[in-house]
Amino acid sequence: MNIKDYLDSTYLKTAEQAGVSEKETNQIIHDFVQEAIEEKYKLVMLRPDNVAFAKKQIEKAQSKVCIGTVIGFPEGTSSIEEKISEAIQAIKDGVDELDFVINFEAFKLGDIDLVKQEVLQGTKLAVTHHKKIKWIIEIAALNGAQIIQLTSLIKNVVVANFTEKDFEHVFIKSSTGFYQTADGSPNGATIAAIIAMLENAFPLQVKASGGIKTKEEAIEMIKLGVKRIGTSAAKSISDGILISEKY
């Protein structure tokens, strides 16, 4: 089993966050996409305004690399309407997968109906357009009980409103990687959180994202049962590494 089949190679920094110019950012994106084409990663994950650019580059190379983007990123607090509009534009630009940041703040405040509607409408848009969708729950902003509750909520909405053939196209994802924790603790995937997600997401799949930098960490997540790994370190993880069938 090739570890590259699990990797969502990710670059989500703005020019300001990276401390470079817009021109330099364009070159970074080009090189990033080219690496994914050459390495044959599963997918490149980019901000929405880079989707059309990546699509042209991938088509020109006649590559099978998929394109993913983030919706409502990174806070997740934009309205359902704003998120749907952003996703529709990404679909027009040629995106294959949509990673929605769920409104985890609304969830924490008890606005469960809003969160359910968001899951329902976002998932409907994705499956109607034959796109995969991943719901980012931002585990660093949640306690253990909330991780279980929000994972279960998403699973229950999908199971109640969609068909079995749709389930494989819906993921629950751990993190944006951009959340600022108050105490400086890790803001990405942790073993405990991933186990809780896996135990409560089935029949939906789980994507581990945020802070995964080494092949050992990636293998550990795959052994637990995650089907996709979001990482900005895809090259260092994948170089020469094949996972045996026992994993």
User: What residues act catalytically?
Assistant: 99, 173, 207
Dist. CA 148–CA 131, nearest whole Å: 25
Q: Answer yes or no: are the C-beta atoms of 99 and 72 closer than 8 Å.
A: no
CA 73 to chain centre: 11
CB 185 within 8 A of CB 139: no
Rounded to whole angstroms, how far apart are CA atoms 190 and 194?
A: 6
Which 3-state string (H, E, C) describes 35-63?
A: HHHHHCCCEEEECHHHHHHHHHHHHHCCC
